[in-house]
Structure 1
Amino acid sequence: MATGTGENIQHTEEQMAAQAKIFADREAALDAFCEQTEDKPSFLHNISDVHANIRWVPKHNLTWCPVYKAASTTWMTNLLLLAGIKSTNSSLHKQVRKLYPPPEDLEERQRLLDTSMRMLIVRHPLERLLSAYRDKMLRDNQFQKVSNLVKTGYSDPSAKEDDAYPTFLQFLKYIKDIMKKFWNSEGKSRVNPHWQPVWWTCGPCQIKYDAIAHMETLMVDQEYIIRKAGLKDLAINAHTHSSNLDSYNGTNQATQDYFSRIPKTLIKQVSNLYRHDFQLFGYTPNEYIKMGTD
């Protein structure tokens, strides 16, 4: 469902310059963190695996690393439009991966990275986890096996035996476990892309992204990217997402209600396991910790 379009967003030269400054500041903050000796990621994804995660669009001098639950459906749709495809019967992600694979030659990949806009869309890590829970755990779909594992393997005193789906508390306990395994194995323990850390998926300490959009300012950020990349008449500025299967229409109220049922200690533990995503992209868990229970 599209939550809005950029048709009414007017970008003057001054606004474009201001947005360019915002992107430059985000890039500089990311670079500064990556250069730190103590806090930067202690292990990194194989660069070939990062390249495999990227969608390469040489015709439009664009490279984009999809982050699931951060406007990925919107840009998968845009990349189909760039290929002249208005709809697809196959998996959206599989179709786009097939259309925009990494060049086989490593030097050609580096040349494209050097000459293209390198786009990344990020989201508050805890908000992204809540979105993943609402979209993937509250329905009968390909995540049914994981959903059942979470429901039966993790406790929640408020959960009922006949509940069809796991609670958010059970889901965060599961996330804590799999992320601990991820850290202990230095990335060898697999994490589903919908809750895999951005720093691992997209390698922002390995690839210099120059267009870092935030979900919290998505429409304005996307408008700049679309115009700067020369895609004004080819791509749409929209936020397309799957419907969430609960009673909330707005994100803010859902966030407050869901996190108010989670112990502060668990929110802190989960946040620590995603600490690089917080640090790299200028987010803080403090507001969410305050929502939690003592």
Structure 2
Amino acid sequence: MMRRHWLLVGACGWVLLILMFVSKFINFSFRIPGDYAERREMFVWTFPSVTTKHTSVQWPDKGASQPYILSSVGPSVVEPIDWQSVNEKRLELLSTVCRNSSMWNLTHTTVDKFVLDRIFVCDKHKILFCQTPKVGNTQWKKVLIVLNGMFSKVEAIPENLVHDHERNGLPRLSSMTDTEIRQRLNSYFKFFIVRDPFERLISAFKDKFVKNPRFEPWYKHDIAPAIIRKYRRSHHDDSDSVGLQFEDFVRYLGDKSGRQRLDRQFGDHIIHWLTYAELCAPCDISYNVVGHHETLERDAPYILKAAGIADLVSYPNIPPGITRYNRTKVERYFTGIGQRDVRRLYASYQGDFSLFDYQRPAFLLD
């Protein structure tokens, strides 16, 4: 009996040791998803207007039916959310800001020929697209060109044709009668894309006054000298020969009243740095979708789906990281620019910041 007793005690001891070992293994294995989730957060896009301060939106891979919110409660807690709710939140904010009487002058504009010139029409699929420069609108034009039947795929469209509005087969809303315009505004699917206002201005400055890839000489020879003469503080020696500096550009854009005469002189060339309110009248036209450049990789497929054309055309491939907001670049461009000039610039574009939930750039203003 005694021998059997000690055998039983020994067996129990081994069982306890095994259980302790297994317990440690299980605890270790449960920590792995947490580490993995933390690494994934670097690739998560955030929507401040949709989620809480500590919650991020994780969009699905192609073919998935719904995106997911990664909850701040824990890495293993996920809640389904559809893209339509993201868009609805954006439109709700837009509507709220539009009703704010204190910002009326920054958010409302007359729907005149200038605005209607920005809106391209696809009658075949009942779509209106408002062009907002420096947010990937060239690619959306390609999508509409394919839908209008001029080319079978976006890759086949020559780059020099996209912006040739006499030959690209994209009619503008301004080319139609008042009755036709009203009918389309009331019944067609309407959308446009926005981007952080200051980063968009940097992109416009680089594209038109530094690189000028499409060779538009009037920016260098006509517009830049006019801005320099009026807004450059130092004109000693041959400072005009240096070319337009970003600081000159900021002073010009921040002078809401004084720049009007220059803008009339520049004509439609100024569309690259006008506010979204001036370009697309989002408080005066009821758009169905507002896409964001920073999340375009995720927004574009859903815009195609919402417009009912996802099976007909694809949005061109986007190079990785190209749409991501770059605070370092913004800080670099604004280095050395006086806070007074930056605040005046923000005041001119505050409507765009507020309408589309872009954070006030405190790191530049305070």
Whether the TM-score (by the shorter chain) exceeds 0.5 is yes
- Which amino acid in structure 2 is aligned with residue 168 of structure 1? F
Distance in 1, matches of 2:137 and 2:167, equals 11
Q: Aligned match of 1:54 in 119, 126, 135? A: 119
TM-superposed deviation, 1:251 = 4.2
3-state SS of the aligned residue for 2:244? coil
Q: Aligned match of 1:180 in 250, 257, 281? A: 257
Q: Aligned match of 2:150 in 69, 84, 87? A: 84
- Of residues 23-32 and 254-263 in structure 1, the stretch that sits farther from structure 2 once superposed is 254-263
3-state SS of the aligned residue for 2:272? coil
Q: Verify: 1:147 aligned to 2:219, yes or no.
A: no
Q: Verify: 1:283 aligned to 2:355, yes or no.
A: no
Residues 1:139 and 1:123: Cα distance change in structure 2 (over 3 Å): same
Asked whether the 8 Å contact 2:141–2:162 carries over to 1, the reply is no
Gaps of 5+ in 2: 1-59, 68-79
The TM-score, its normalising length taken from structure 1, stands at 0.79
- Which amino acid in structure 2 is aligned with residue 63 of structure 1? L
TM-superposed deviation, 1:194 = 0.3
Distance in 1, matches of 2:272 and 2:223, equals 12
Asked whether the 8 Å contact 2:191–2:289 carries over to 1, the reply is yes
Q: Aligned match of 1:234 in 313, 328, 343? A: 313
Asked whether the 8 Å contact 2:253–2:348 carries over to 1, the reply is no
Residues 1:96 and 1:174: Cα distance change in structure 2 (over 3 Å): farther
Residues 1:288 and 1:108: Cα distance change in structure 2 (over 3 Å): farther
The TM-score, its normalising length taken from structure 2, stands at 0.65
Asked whether the 8 Å contact 2:83–2:302 carries over to 1, the reply is yes
Q: Percent identity?
A: 22
Alignment of 1:108-147 (within 5 A): 108-139=180-211, 141-142=215-216, 143-144=219-220, 145-147=222-224
Distance in 2, matches of 1:153 and 1:121, equals 32
- Which amino acid in structure 2 is aligned with residue 84 of structure 1? M
Alignment of 1:192-231 (within 5 A): 192-231=270-309
Distance in 2, matches of 1:37 and 1:100, equals 35
Q: What's 1:72 paired with? A: 137
Asked whether the 8 Å contact 1:197–1:277 carries over to 2, the reply is yes
Distance in 2, matches of 1:96 and 1:17, equals 42
Distance in 1, matches of 2:273 and 2:279, equals 10
Q: Which protein is bigger by CA-based radius of gyration?
A: 2
- Of residues 126-135 and 14-23 in structure 1, the stretch that sits farther from structure 2 once superposed is 14-23
Asked whether the 8 Å contact 2:111–2:284 carries over to 1, the reply is no
Give deviations 1:180-200, integer Å, cap 9, x for gaps.
346x79x97867000111101
Residues 1:126 and 1:90: Cα distance change in structure 2 (over 3 Å): same
Q: What's 2:172 paired with? A: 101
Asked whether the 8 Å contact 2:138–2:162 carries over to 1, the reply is no
Residues 1:225 and 1:121: Cα distance change in structure 2 (over 3 Å): same
Residues 1:139 and 1:164: Cα distance change in structure 2 (over 3 Å): farther
3-state SS of the aligned residue for 1:41? helix
Asked whether the 8 Å contact 2:119–2:128 carries over to 1, the reply is yes
Distance in 1, matches of 2:308 and 2:111, equals 32
- Of residues 31-40 and 144-153 in structure 1, the stretch that sits farther from structure 2 once superposed is 144-153
3-state SS of the aligned residue for 1:99? coil
Distance in 1, matches of 2:63 and 2:81, equals 9
Distance in 1, matches of 2:157 and 2:242, equals 33
TM-superposed deviation, 1:75 = 1.1
Q: Verify: 1:270 aligned to 2:345, yes or no.
A: yes
TM-superposed deviation, 1:63 = 0.7
Distance in 1, matches of 2:313 and 2:227, equals 42
TM-superposed deviation, 1:268 = 1.1
Asked whether the 8 Å contact 2:127–2:307 carries over to 1, the reply is yes
Asked whether the 8 Å contact 1:156–1:167 carries over to 2, the reply is no
Distance in 2, matches of 1:176 and 1:36, equals 22
Q: Verify: 1:23 aligned to 2:87, yes or no.
A: yes
Residues 1:270 and 1:80: Cα distance change in structure 2 (over 3 Å): same
TM-superposed deviation, 1:139 = 3.4
Asked whether the 8 Å contact 1:79–1:96 carries over to 2, the reply is no
Asked whether the 8 Å contact 2:121–2:172 carries over to 1, the reply is yes
- Which amino acid in structure 2 is aligned with residue 236 of structure 1? Y
Q: Verify: 1:33 aligned to 2:131, yes or no.
A: no
